[in-house]
Amino acid sequence: MKRLSMRNVREMLRLRFDCGLSARKVARGLDIDHRSAGDYLCRFAASGLTWPTALSDAELQR
């Protein structure tokens, strides 16, 4: 899985939740593999966090 910067992770979450894009479209927009996008989105869902989040980059990364 390609490791993304926190800026890209936040952009991925914004595209998914604010714009309603699918994981494939998010991946295309960020020029990453759709499986990587899906993995990040699944991890976010499993974390129990909600979007938008007020977490710092370090907290979000954990």
Domain map of the chain by residue range?
6-61
SS in 3 state form for the chain?
Answer: CCCCCHHHHHHHHHHHHHCCCCHHHHHHHHCCCHHHHHHHHHHHHHHCCCCCCCCCHHHHHC
pTM over 0.95: no
6-18 confidence digits (pLDDT tens) = 999 999 999 999 9
In which band, very low, low, confident or very high, does the pLDDT at 20 lie, cut at 50, 70 and 90? very high
